[in-house]
Amino acid sequence: MKITRISAFQIDLPLKEGRYAWSNGNFVEVFDTTIVAVETDAGITGYGEACPLGPAYLPAYAAGVRAGLAQLAPSLIGQDPRQLASINRIMDAAMRGHPYVKSPIDMACWDILGKACGLPIYMLLGGAEQAQVALYRAISQQRPDEMAAKVKAYRNEGYRKFQLKVGGADADEDIARIKACAAMLEAGDILVADANTGWTMHEAARVVNGVRDVDVYIEQPCKSYEECLTIRRRTSLPFVLDEVIDGLPMLLRGLQDGAMDVINLKISKVGGLTKARQIRDLCVAQGVAMTIEDSWGGDIVTAAIAHLARSTPEEFLFSATDFNSYGTKTIAEGAPQRVNGSMTAAERPGLGIAPLAGALGASVLSVGSL
């Protein structure tokens, strides 16, 4: 089987809530996502998606996905998409870094492999460790009372895990946010305060001291790994690392230092499902739980998350994300749908999704044979 054409499509994904805000005043109102279609001479087409959380979150941006794909796609024409290790080595040889550009191609090749052998991707990633995967809901940064009301409302929709966007300009207000939201929870609920690198060390130290008696996880308090490790060593609260865990070398360093209890594993942050699986398996072997998700996305990213999460043992899946429920636009049929705070991966071959007729529009990039 050979790749004959790689096409990309740009789609705007507006938010139901209108705005998603996190640390340092950052926000997004309409997500700019890129869908990739990988066509083959066997008549099978695979789909992938990459959607950065704006340009200020990770070293990734939406137009960069498309620019990178234009650079990368020619090196993949004629390659066998089922040979995921080879595909990844070719991409890494052709372009250093830029994992978020490679992720949708890798995802689409997994979709092709699943369709070619008639199996859902979760089977190819280890099998069904879970029937349903538990989701968290991100609570956009607002006033403490507004965030507490959102926690209550989303709890009524079935979510039991909540990730607060903190890392605001005022540590006192972040402490108030965490306490106000914690007051909405019941036994068994999970609360995470995610600063998204937004605190300086002294602010982080104040917050972890201020909420020391609250049952809350602290996620990525500061920008650098070293700053986070310092705060980790000053708090007894459970600790999550996200932005700085961008591949195996940082995971190995974190394991060596005992720097975290949980990591946030984002598919596009590490370059696709192939590399995310490596990290997932190492975390399972070393006793580190994971939030499995992506930077953002629509139906296709949500399907990929569901397959990786479903093939992860329950005790190591801290949570996952149903990004397609945050937006107003459906782009594919067959994508996971949240029921009572959980979702699952389809039993159909590959990702188990098909783009809706007309949803992709005209391609913005098309590389390959005629």
Closest distance between Mg ion and the C-beta of residue 303, in Å?
21
Q: Name residue 183's amino acid.
A: A
| Beta carbon of residue 293, minimum distance to Mg ion (angstroms, whole number) | 9
Strand ranges, E, within 105-223: 133-134, 136-139, 161-165, 190-194, 217-219
Calpha distance 311→322 (Å, rounded) = 16
Angle (deg, nearest 10), helices 248-257 and 273-286: 10
Q: Residue 356 carries which DSSP code?
A: P
The least CB distance from residue 219 to Mg ion, in Å, is 5
Distance CA 7, CA 69 (A): 9
Beta strand segments in 15-168, E: 20-21, 27-28, 30-40, 45-50, 133-134, 136-139, 161-165
**What is the nearest approach in angstroms of Mg ion to the Cβ of residue 194?**
4
Minimum CB distance to Mg ion, residue 242 (Å) = 4
Q: Which is nearer to Mg ion, 174 or 242 (CB)?
A: 242
| Nearest of 117, 18, 15, 71 to residue 365 by alpha carbon | 71
In the residue annotation, 150 being an active-site residue is answered as: no
Q: Is 54 exposed, middle or buried (0-12, 13-18, 19+ CB in 10 A)?
A: buried
How far apart CA 2 and CA 253 sit, in angstroms, is 38
Question: Could you give the string, one character per residue 174-213, with x where binding to Mg ion holds by CB under 5 A and - elsewhere?
Answer: --------------------x-------------------
Residues 211-270 that bind Mg ion (CB under 5 A): 242, 264
Spot the catalytic one: 165, 223, 269, 275. 165
Left, alpha or beta for 343 (phi > 0: left; psi -120 to 50: alpha)?
Answer: beta
Q: Is 266 a catalytic residue?
A: yes
353 token code pair: 């999704």
Nearest residue to the partner Mg ion, using Cβ:
242
Q: Kindly tell me which of 32 and 194 has the beta carbon lying closer to Mg ion.
A: 194
Are the CB atoms for 337 and 302 separated by under 8 Å?
no
Q: How far apart are CA 18 and CA 130, in angstroms?
A: 33
Rounded Cα–Cα distance for residues 36 and 49 (Å)? 6
Minimum distance from CB of 345 to Mg ion (Å)?
22
Identity of the residue, 144 or 167, whose beta carbon is nearer to Mg ion in the bound complex: 167
Beta-strand ranges (E) seen in 183-250 are 190-194, 217-219, 239-241
Binders of Mg ion in range 266-325 (CB under 5 A): none
**Any idea what DSSP says for residue 74?**
G
Q: How far apart are the first and last CA of the chain?
A: 17
Taking the least distance from each CB to Mg ion, the nearer of 11 and 290 is 290
Given the complex with Mg ion, which of 7 and 295 has the nearer CB atom?
295
**Which lies closer to Mg ion via its Cβ, residue 290 or residue 346?**
290
Pick 103 or 264: Cβ nearer Mg ion: 264
Which parts of 330-369 interact with Mg ion (CB under 5 A)? none
Smallest gap, in angstroms, from Cβ of residue 363 to Mg ion? Answer: 32
Residue with tokens 């590490």: 270
Q: Which residue out of 161, 266, 269, 275 is catalytically annotated?
A: 266
Q: How far apart are CA 37 and CA 45, in angstroms?
A: 6
* Active site members: 165, 266
Residues that bind Mg ion (CB under 5 A): 194, 242, 264
